Amino acid sequence: MQLRTALAAAALALVAAPAAAQPPPRKLELSYSGSLNALHLTGEVKVLALHVSEQAGAGNFDTHADLHSYGLLRAFKRIDVWTAADGPVEAGLPRPHVFDFIETKKNGSRKRTLLTWLKDKVVSQPPHPAFGKPPPTMAQELSASDPVTQMSRIAYAAGSGSICGHSWRFFDGVQLYDLQLGPPAADRPTPRDKALGVTEAAHCVVRYVEVAGFRHKPGADTGIRSAISARFGRLGAAGPWVALTLKADTLLGDAQVQLDSVRVSPA
């Protein structure tokens, strides 16, 4: 399961920290597009589409996301992924409980993986043998969260200071990795941001670090040629924070994921 490629590195590097105060229950619908300037020569073309639907409640959350590749990227990597995560909200922070991952293969078949976080272990259905150099330990798996749960935390952030400046550990059932977000810097909302309802924004540098569960040893080439730049914004005067853009220079060229539309309504 290449969720690191499909979700984290491509789009779901956009994570957040716990809120200082509990936000009101609400539903978020977010649509993102990914573009690529192949080898820095062709100009930007759409290669990725991501849609997220999140029920952000006071005591629990329920988030669904689907991700699909197009054009040049699909020639290198077919991505047709449907994911979901739900669980409790404790101390203002979504906690991992159940993560459902469905991926369509090249031959049209579908592979499903279900992860459940219990008190003393993470259970995978179907069972997955230890994999990688080194493989993840159970302690590492328990200390991590699935990508969709991590993504769901953005809506619970109180401000830019609780988004950037933190390190988050991901586990997708096979691979375990960290996304280390540097300190936040204030950003003036662009005309595009304002059209989406953004009233304030911030950016930070993100570092992707492989930890365990990979075929190659940690430190090998990941295909990311530059620091990853992430931007976040608040909707309205007291609305939720959302991920706005993610940019990086990759093996295939300059890549960008940006928010195209957003809708927020009472849960």
The answer to whether residue 264 is domain-embedded is no
Closest listed residue to residue 115, CA positions, set 152, 70, 161, 170: 170
> Is residue 20 a part of any domain in this protein?
yes
Q: Is residue 265 part of a domain?
A: no
> Residue written as tokens 């075929």?
215
The type of residue at 224 is I
pLDDT tens readout for residues 110-121: 999 999 999 999
d(CA 237, CA 198): 9
Q: Residue 23 domain-assigned? A: yes
Range of the domain at 23: 3-259
On whether residue 235 sits in a domain, the answer given is yes
Question: What confidence tens digit (pLDDT) does each residue in 180-202 have?
Answer: 999 999 999 999 999 999 999 99
User: Is residue 201 in some structural domain?
Assistant: yes
How many structural domains comprise the chain? 1
Q: Using CA atoms, how far apart are residues 136 and 211, in angstroms rounded to an integer?
A: 8
Residue from 155, 234, 240, 226 nearest 202 by CA: 234
The DSSP output letter for 8 is I
Report if residue 110 sits inside a domain.
yes
20 has pLDDT over 70: no
Please indicate, yes or no, if residue 151 is contained in any of the structural domains.
yes
Q: How many CB atoms lie within 10 A of CB 223?
A: 11
pTM of the full structure: 0.86
pLDDT grade for 224, boundaries at 50, 70 and 90 = low
Can you give the pLDDT at residue 114? 97
- pLDDT score, position 217: 61
- Looking at per-residue confidence, does 45 or 246 come out higher? 246
- CA 189-203-48 angle, to 5 degrees, is 85
pLDDT at 128: 84
